[in-house]
Structure 1
Amino acid sequence: MPQDLEFKLPPVTCKEDGEPRRVGIELEFTGLTLEQTAAAVQEALGGELSRTSASERVLQVDGLGTFNIELDWDFLKRQALKAEEEDEGGAQWMDLLSQAASLVVPLEVVCPPIAIGELHRLHRMVDGLRRAGAVGTENSPLAAFGVHLNPEIPRLEAATIGAYLRAFGLLQWWLVDAHRVDLSRKISPYIDLYPEDYVKLLVEQAPPAMGQLFDDYLEHNATRNRALDLLPLLAQIDGERVRQTVVDPKIKARPTFHYRLPNCQIEKADWSLAGSWNLWWLVEQLASREDELQALGAAFVEHWRPLLGLNRGAWLEYVGRWLNDRGWG
């Protein structure tokens, strides 16, 4: 059975309206056809399965919500839809490409937002996909398969956003090591870390008002390709301001973080989604403790070298000891 089966509860489990915080999870992998994937998820969770297009299936599960199951290749999806609309044998054309996709094109299961205390219900889905033959990051040098976590923010305000930014910025290099991020993902542009200068700005300035937070983030991170992508969250607050800086139709406004570091190692018996979540949990822990944030921020500045920037090797060692001293590592 996988280790870390328990999803750790963060310090803040409810939003300011009293409703439980939820997490959306996106799981990327290969090794199966679209139909095999949909069948495995339905067998694990039950529910009613429907076909929305040649490249997408939808599963409605009572008590959880809507699971979208799709081939994660925009060109493939566009061509299949066009063939269907023009009655040019889209289904047959798609079936052939779906077989090829099991080798090179990621499949994606996009889970509905699920209360943190209910995330354990996804274990059956992961086990079912593993038994069906799903394989993850390490089995394809061509696609940087991963797990995306989309936890709802507790409070949609500058102070809370700033605390999470500082927490992740200070931990980001350590998290890459802790997740053992695969080389194919490290060299991809999709999970770039925040620039060192931006992290230094975060820890040295006073907590910014929302306007300054927008200015600083968009100046240093005007791209979706970040390990912690805040553009969906910022778009929820002011979509027009985000679009003025970043022209990308894939940015979807939502009151969540978009954390993209974890590998998908679904083929391994000792891997689980809980392991990925429990490393993000460290960001939750640190973000909720202003005194600890200030202490680690001060240590970060001490590890900064004029002209050379952060001494990353020494910083990684320091963060590891610091987390262990608090029983978090």
Structure 2
Amino acid sequence: MSTLDRWLPVWIGLAMIAGLVLGRYVPGLSGALARLEVGGISVPIALGLLVMMYPVLAKVRYDRVAAVTGDRKLLVSSLALNWVVGPLVMFVLAWVFLPDLPEYRTGLIIVGLARCIAMVVIWNDLACGDREAAAVLVAINSVFQVVMFAVLGWFYLTVLPGWLGLDSQGLDVSMGQIAVNVLVFLGVPLVAGIASRWLGEKRRGRAWYEEKFVPKVGPWALYGLLFTIVLLFALQGEAMTRRPLDVARIALPLLAYFALMWFAGLLLGKALGLGYARSTTLAFTAAGNNFELAIAVAIGTFGAASGQALAGVVGPLIEVPVLVGLVYVSLWAARAWFQTDPFGEPLPVAKGRAA
């Protein structure tokens, strides 16, 4: 592993601290960053995510995608976890942990509805998951997000609470807004990744592309991740330091959610015989969320100073360190549960067994 990969938790921790310090002690910074928006999308965060996603999507071997689309176990499991289990789990956790805080509760439910289409490719790559499977699952989530987000928002915030005799809130979000979000955060880097591989292999061959080009652009994924983390913490650094108890209460159901969804995905993949690479891809795509969409919807519907918006922002601030930790758990599980080495090295032979 490179120095950047080996010390990633340290760099992420430093990026979080830097963002908090900038947001808390640089006057007007968070407001200036918040104003840099086009169509409800933060331009600095969009740039960070595009830089983060492009190298990973450029590594994908798109000629292998057909093998993924034929894996019905993987596709059905992913759809069930993302669009049935995930939103329901977040709904239950939000009501269990925040019954007296309706704004934060609504914000968490919105986070649960926004399935991940961006940062998951980083976690999957770090955990040596199946890149082609991740690309396919992210694309499927994108399509479902455009079609189902508003419908599920209406169901979980209005219909289901009414059936259960609970408080309800509406959600005003258009398919156009969701489609723009998907186009920016998935469409642009996906097209760039496909074009890079096609042009690179056509002009210089696969060996050059894999051995020369990919290693050069690869580190930029983590540079983009660290840049995005600094921005996220800078945007809400002041709010987080002013309301630490609120942040802690929002964090508890999020911690439970990420752990439950990740372990459910990994164990389901193992039970279905998907192997380590696809099981870990299933786990990370189930646990991750599209924080940019959740934050944009919360701000657009309830306002930038609302509790819903704060809950949306706390989402990725908890998700990043938790899923980084789960990358290491995943690499441990490769050996302990799947009897394989994620880096392709031979496993040591147990004592008493033939070599």
For the superposition of Structure 1 and Structure 2, which TM-score range results when normalised by the shorter chain?
under 0.3
TM-score by length of 2: 0.22
- For normalisation by structure 1, the TM-score amounts to 0.24
Q: Which has the higher strand share?
A: 1
